């Protein structure tokens, strides 16, 4: 269904339809997000959502019809997808709270039916159908702005330790799930920036949350020694920018490993 670009050899869908190859560098060190991390996670969510909303509000109508690397989606359809993945949080907060939290943000990306061809086909269709419900890109931009602000307010009003159950039956701490929503915003923000021929607009707050999720070994000093800025690191870690043989060797030498999503 999805065709990778720029010579990517092994394509699969990560983070709900991001087209990325397997880097071959996997790691898992369990949950890193405790109740005390609610504020940094939500600060990352707010910063990224606000930044994206600003980009969309000033985007010419023609920009919404540009193709993205998350084929077959256009910018308009990818924005609908990001909006949908954000909006689901409000619905789950209205559902009964599970007794325990069994899945963390890392475990959320395990390869199972959520990344199956059938699930991906549903995502594509939902985004395309949703895009047809807006009269213009600016109307969609306004809807996204309303959605993220409502979710931000609702999540911040919840008590520490709040649990939710996702549509994949993952019982999670709300904080852990919101890490995945920051990842949606940050990584699809990279996809949108590329589609619009713009420099990445990744915020410090949002980028830090996703770097902490993805980098599972090596630590800040080893990552800094790679010589990449954060958007470049995140793009390479998720296959959005291919690693050269020299870069792959450097990553191994520095002992940096990152999470394979999906």
* Bridge partners, 165 (sequence order): 171
Considering only the top CATH level, what class is 11-258?
mainly alpha
Q: Is the pLDDT score of 37 beyond 70? A: no
Q: Is the pLDDT score of 12 beyond 70? A: no
Q: Is the pLDDT score of 29 beyond 50? A: no
**Structural contact between residues 238 and 187, judged by C-beta atoms closer than 8 angstroms:** yes
Cα(88)–Cα(26) distance, integer angstroms: 29
The predicted-structure confidence for 205-222, as pLDDT tens digits, reads as follows 999 999 999 988 887 888
Name the percent of the chain lying above pLDDT 70.
Answer: 85
* Bridge partners, 172 (sequence order): 164
Q: Which residue has the higher pLDDT, 204 or 19?
A: 204
Least confident of 43-47, 110-114, 175-179: 110-114
**Structural contact between residues 171 and 101, judged by C-beta atoms closer than 8 angstroms:** yes
pLDDT value of residue 38: 65
Cis peptide, bond prior to residue 72, ω within 30 of zero: yes
pTM, two decimal places? 0.85
79 closest CA partner among 162, 17, 25: 17
Mean pLDDT taken over the chain: 85
**Over 141-167, what HEC string results?**
HHHHHHHHHHHHHHHHCCCCCCEEECC
Q: Is the pLDDT score of 58 beyond 90? A: yes
pLDDT band at 256 (very low <50, low <70, confident <90, very high): confident
Q: Which residue has the higher pLDDT, 174 or 114?
A: 174
């Amino acid at each position: 269904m999805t065709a990778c670009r720029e010579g990517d050899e092994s394509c699969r869908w990560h983070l709900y339809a991001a087209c990325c190859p397997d880097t071959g560098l996997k790691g898992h060190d369990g949950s890193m997000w405790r109740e005390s991390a609610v504020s940094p996670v939500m600060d990352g969510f707010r910063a990224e959502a606000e930044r994206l909303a600003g980009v969309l509000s000033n985007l010419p109508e023609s920009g919404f019809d540009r193709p993205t690397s998350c084929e077959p989606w256009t910018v308009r359809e990818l924005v609908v997808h990001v909006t949908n993945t954000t909006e689901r949080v409000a619905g789950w907060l209205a559902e009964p709270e599970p007794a325990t939290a069994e899945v963390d943000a890392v475990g959320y990306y395990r390869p199972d039916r959520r990344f199956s061809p059938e699930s991906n086909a549903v995502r594509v269709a939902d985004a395309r159908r949703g895009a047809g419900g807006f009269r213009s890109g600016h109307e969609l931009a306004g809807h996204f702005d309303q959605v993220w602000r409502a979710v931000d307010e609702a999540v911040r009003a919840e008590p520490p330790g709040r649990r939710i159950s996702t549509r994949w039956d993952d019982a999670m701490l709300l904080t852990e799930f919101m890490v995945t929503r920051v990842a949606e915003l940050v990584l699809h923000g990279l996809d949108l920036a590329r589609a619009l021929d713009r420099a990445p607009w990744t915020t410090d707050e949002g980028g830090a949350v996703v770097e902490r999720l993805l980098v599972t070994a090596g630590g800040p000093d080893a990552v800094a020694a790679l010589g990449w800025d954060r958007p470049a690191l995140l793009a390479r870690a998720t296959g959005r920018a291919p690693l050269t043989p020299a870069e792959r060797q450097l990553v191994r030498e520095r002992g940096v490993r990152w999470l394979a999503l999906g």
